[in-house]
Amino acid sequence: MIASLAVEQAEFSIALEYVEEAAESYLESAESIDLYLQIQLFAHRFFAAREFLWQAQKVKSITEEQKNLWLFRIDDQELFYQKQQQAAMKVIEYELKELPKLSNMEQLLLIRKVRGLTNERLKFWATDFMMNSSISPLVRSYLFESLARLGVADRFCYLTLQEEIVELIPVETGFDQTLQQMIAELLTEALIDEDPVLLTNLMEQVNLEMAFLYPLQSSYNNAQAWVNSYLADYVGREVDLNPQIEALRQKIKELMLDYH
């Protein structure tokens, strides 16, 4: 109700603040979906609008016809906005061209600007950068995640941490957190009584390493091997180690040094 009143008074920033507090609740009805999307468009948040529309489609809160009508509206308003902001868009595109020359941390900060581009330009840059060895792995992950959040069904080539090339479809790969959850459960079982502080720190370490591994976590779905590696590293336990996981974690450790 507050968000609706804010829209009526053209207080779009206030409306946006309220809808973002409980975004998932706006999936409950066609009316609330319309309100959420209208506010995103008023705020020129076209990426967020497409992301939310894809979520609504996944939970079947809208019909195919409603989805297509909203996609047309988002595309139309985004095109109009882009024409008004051509100078700003040119600056973003120019900065992105320089991305491979930047440090890993600078790349990670700059890449967020791709969400201000059109859907087609996002896919253009993702196609290039996800295959570029000069681009940070976390940036490649961020680009793939951005495509997945939009429900993009195109096939993309992706350069892995081991510098192998795989073909992936963002909408099919999605966000599989099974490995991360299993690691968390096993670590909790092993350390909750012995060292809860270390357990908390290790959970953060796991989150970071899984970010480097995304979107290929399922390719290394051996939770016990990961847990054994952490226990050997940080507790000094004598456990069986998996050579593949050890090599992968060593690679991630080397990459993490660039962010400190």
Q: What is the pLDDT of residue 7?
A: 74
pLDDT tens figures, 105-123: 899 999 998 888 888 899 9
* CATH classification for the domain delimited by 86-173, as one of 3.30.70, 3.30.1790, 3.40.1710, 2.40.50: 3.30.1790
**CA-to-CA separations, 209 to 11, 20, 75, 180, 225, in angstroms, rounded:** 41, 28, 36, 10, 14
pLDDT band at 259 (very low <50, low <70, confident <90, very high): low
Rounded to the nearest 5°, which phi and psi values hold at 166?
-125, 155
List the domain boundaries for the chain: 2-84, 86-173, 178-259
On the question of pLDDT at 68 being above 80, the answer is yes
How high does pLDDT run on average in the chain?
88
On the question of pLDDT at 182 being above 80, the answer is yes
Q: What is the pLDDT of residue 155?
A: 94
Q: Report the candidate in 24, 33, 127 with the shortest Cα–Cα distance to residue 73.
A: 33
Q: What is the pLDDT of residue 6?
A: 75
CA atoms lying within 13 Å on the CB side of residue 208:
14
pLDDT tens figures, 124-140: 999 999 999 999 999 99
pLDDT tens figures, 29-42: 888 888 889 888 88
pTM: predicted TM-score of the whole model, two decimal places: 0.74
The angle at the Cα of 17, spanning 80 to 30, to the nearest 5 degrees, equals 70
List the single range of 21-35, 99-113, 192-206, 218-232 with lowest mean pLDDT. Answer: 21-35
On the question of pLDDT at 159 being above 90, the answer is yes
- Most distant CA pair in the chain, distance: 65
Q: What is the pLDDT of residue 248?
A: 92
On the question of pLDDT at 8 being above 80, the answer is no
For residues 241 and 232, is the Cβ–Cβ distance under 8 A?
yes
Tokens of 104: 């890993």
For residues 149 and 51, is the Cβ–Cβ distance under 8 A?
yes
On the question of pLDDT at 242 being above 90, the answer is yes
